[in-house]
Amino acid sequence: MSQNIRALSARCCRNRTLFEALLEVGRATGAPSHDQLCALAEESLISPAALLGAASFYDFLSEDNRDKQAYVCNGTACLLAGGQETVRARLTAQFPNEQIGEAACLGRCYRGGAYRIGDRCFDTGVDPDSEEGAGPTFHCHTAHSVFGGGGDEAEVLYRRIFGTASQLPVSFPDELSISGLRGRGGAGFPFAGKLDACRSAPVGRKYVVCNGDEGDPGAFSDRWLLEERPQRVLAGMLAAGLTMGSDTGFLYVRAEYPLAQKRVAEAIEAFERTPVFAQGGFQFRLVRGAGSYICGEETALLNSIEGLRPEVRTRPPYPAQAGLFGRPTLVSNVETFAALPWILDHGGAAFAALGTEASTGTKLVSLDRGFNNPGVHEVAMGTALERVIYGYGGGFRTAMKAVQVGGPLGGVVPVEKIAALSLDFESFAGEGFLLGHAGIVGIPQDFPMIGFLRHLFTFTADESCGKCLPCRLGTEKGRRMLMEATPDSPVDGAAFDDLLETLELGSLCGLGGGLPLPVRNILSRFRPELADYFRSGAGHE
């Protein structure tokens, strides 16, 4: 059935994708009505049930969202910073309770106390009657910044990269291989390999997709790039597209970043005024998300663009073989594409020289409001984590017992382990942690770890796509076990270990499969604090 919907969606995607059509019909009230779905079904030849199945998946299209006017951020950084009740009290003075919802993360982790009214986001330090407020502060701690140096005018940027002939240097694929660039979205897969797979695919329609659905609470580096350096992201997508023989790039920007969507739309308009656009025929499509963490997973993202329910696909086939609308597709994240112009400008060897042998280049690190110097920090791969946190980050504002690195599926690092780590994929993996997107959130000394475990399971249970049984049932089962746990009625440790193993081995994607890592980090490294809540010693690594 999904293949039929995919084919029908591809048929009409020249004007708007099926997903974009769903967004349009639901924009006025927050959720599409039965009559609107029936009208769209007649136009698209797709059943109202299939359309409802897709729309109801998203936070900002489901029936629960109808008539919502404001949202309180319930992301990890805002939770740990406190103040959410103050925000809710401020909003209830303006709106009835039924018009106030929640958003998983609004990307204002460097300030805390975030909320959204209409299409504008704020925090407790910004007057809601003013403009949206300054974005995260950018700090560069390398001699050769890949992402800093100010924004680029569209025509200047594209001319510098492609020259007057609007063509890439023939050596670009080789330079990418030399650079050693690995995907910055968390998995760290070599970018040149993904590009080569799409380049080697049979001649025909191919797509470039930029994953701007940065949903990890605590990460806001993509938001900074999309708002402050959108032309670099587009230039990277264009370079990749021309290399692999694609003429279309889709840039998917999450709903929680309305200003980023605006800036990207403006950047696309600026690109379309350049000679490169007139001569090359490459087009960009901005796709606005509708609120779903799982869309950060590449195959769920592709399903979302197509108008399908954004569930994870089984693999193989991989996107490079059969991706968007069944065609070969290169999917990578915002930071990865934004690095390509620098590599084009300076060469692959220069990029490789900035980091370590296995983890090359620089990395954008997000530091939340728990630090004295919060914001986006660009550091060389391989930099000591201790230097990032206590040097560049200025240390913690208050006493912390751990940091969460890489979002809800990343590692939870006790402060005493910080000195053993460096900012690269290998160091984190070797110590049983995960670098991921490199968003770093401080966990205060007085915040109970049982509460943090409950937060992790609640988040993943809410955000599971439901495609596979282990994740759909396992995350909810874990949430209930933890919510019901008390010193008088502790969790059965052996049963909890079995649950973690089932999630890890049986889940289709990194949401269910990745959750056990931070949970085991907490259970093994904070055992005395959690002893009263677990029986039989759960969480042995």
8 A C-beta contact, residue 8 and residue 331? no
Report the Cα 65 to chain-centroid distance in Å: 22
Q: Band of the pLDDT at 5, cuts 50, 70, 90?
A: confident
Place of tokens 């199945």: 53
8 A C-beta contact, residue 179 and residue 361? yes
CA-based angle 385:391:395, to the nearest 5? Answer: 90
Query: What's the CATH code, domain 139-352?
Result: 3.40.50.11540
Q: Band of the pLDDT at 449, cuts 50, 70, 90?
A: very high
Q: Render pLDDT for 102-122 as a digit per residue (tens, 0 to 9).
A: 998 999 999 999 999 999 999
Q: Band of the pLDDT at 165, cuts 50, 70, 90?
A: low
Q: Is the pLDDT reported for residue 181 higher than 80?
A: yes
Transcribe 200-243 into DSSP letters.
Answer: TSPSS--EEEEEE----TT--HHHHHHHH-HHHHHHHHHHHHHH
Map out the domains of the chain as residue ranges.
Answer: 2-65, 70-122, 139-352, 362-444, 449-535
Structure tokens at 525: 């490294």
> How many CB atoms are located within 10 Å of the residue 89 CB?
9
The total number of residues shown for the chain amounts to 541
- Spell out where 96-137 has E strands: 100-103, 115-117, 120-122
Structure tokens at 6: 């995919």
Q: Is the pLDDT reported for residue 152 higher than 80?
A: no
Q: Band of the pLDDT at 134, cuts 50, 70, 90?
A: low
CA–CA gap between residue 495 and residue 87 (Å, rounded): 38
Structure tokens at 171: 């050596």
Residue 127's pLDDT is what?
Answer: 54
Instruction: Please list the alpha-helical segments (H only) found in 307-355.
Output: 334-346, 348-352
Residue 188's pLDDT is what?
Answer: 85
Residue 14's pLDDT is what?
Answer: 64
The packing angle between helices 334-346 and 172-179, to 10°, is 110
Residue 16's pLDDT is what?
Answer: 80
Statement: 362-444 belongs to CATH 3.10.20.600: yes
Q: Band of the pLDDT at 92, cuts 50, 70, 90?
A: very high
User: Residue 3 is which amino acid?
Assistant: Q
The 3-state DSSP class for residue 343 equals helix
Q: Render pLDDT for 249-306 as a digit per residue (tens, 0 to 9).
A: 999 999 999 999 999 999 999 999 988 888 778 999 999 999 999 999 999 999 999 9
> How many CB atoms are located within 10 Å of the residue 344 CB?
21
Q: Band of the pLDDT at 144, cuts 50, 70, 90?
A: confident
- The CA-atom distances, in angstroms, between 410 and each of 434, 439, 515 are 5, 9, 8
Q: 386 CB contacts (<8 Å, ≥6 apart)? A: 418, 419, 421
Among residues 86, 82, 19, 13, the alpha carbon closest in space to that of 50 is found at 19
Q: In the chain, what percentage of residues exceed pLDDT 90?
A: 82
CA–CA gap between residue 382 and residue 503 (Å, rounded): 31
Q: Is the pLDDT reported for residue 419 higher than 90?
A: yes
Architecture category of domain 70-122 in CATH: 3-Layer(aba) Sandwich (3.40)
CA–CA gap between residue 11 and residue 325 (Å, rounded): 9
- Spell out where 53-191 has E strands: 70-73, 100-103, 115-117, 120-122, 138-140
CA–CA gap between residue 299 and residue 304 (Å, rounded): 9
Structure tokens at 293: 């963490």
CA-based angle 442:70:268, to the nearest 5? Answer: 80
Among 152-166, 255-269, 512-526, whose mean pLDDT is lowest?
A: 152-166
Q: Is the pLDDT reported for residue 410 higher than 60?
A: yes
CA-based angle 278:281:283, to the nearest 5? Answer: 105
Residue 13's pLDDT is what?
Answer: 62
CA–CA gap between residue 166 and residue 102 (Å, rounded): 45
Among residues 134, 305, 100, the alpha carbon closest in space to that of 223 is found at 134
Residue 327, φ and ψ in degrees, nearest 5: -105, 155
Mean pLDDT, residues 140-150 taken together = 87
CA–CA gap between residue 521 and residue 300 (Å, rounded): 27
Q: 18 CB contacts (<8 Å, ≥6 apart)? A: 5, 8, 9, 12, 44, 46, 54, 306, 307
Is residue 66 exposed (0-12), middle (13-18) or buried (19+ Cβ within 10 Å)?
Answer: middle
Among residues 28, 1, 35, 46, the alpha carbon closest in space to that of 19 is found at 46
Average pLDDT in the chain: 92
Higher pLDDT, 16 or 73: 73
8 A C-beta contact, residue 366 and residue 356? no
Residue 247's pLDDT is what?
Answer: 94
Transcribe 431-495 into DSSP letters.
Answer: TT---TT-EEEEEETTS-HHHHHHHHHHHHHHH----SHHHHHHHHHHHHHHHH-BTTB-EEHHH
CA–CA gap between residue 132 and residue 265 (Å, rounded): 17
Is residue 88 exposed (0-12), middle (13-18) or buried (19+ Cβ within 10 Å)?
Answer: middle
Mean pLDDT, residues 202-228 taken together = 94
Tell how strand 375-380 and strand 362-367 pair up: antiparallel
449-535: what fold?
A: de novo design (two linked rop proteins) (1.20.1440)
Q: Band of the pLDDT at 4, cuts 50, 70, 90?
A: confident
Residue 83, φ and ψ in degrees, nearest 5: 90, 0
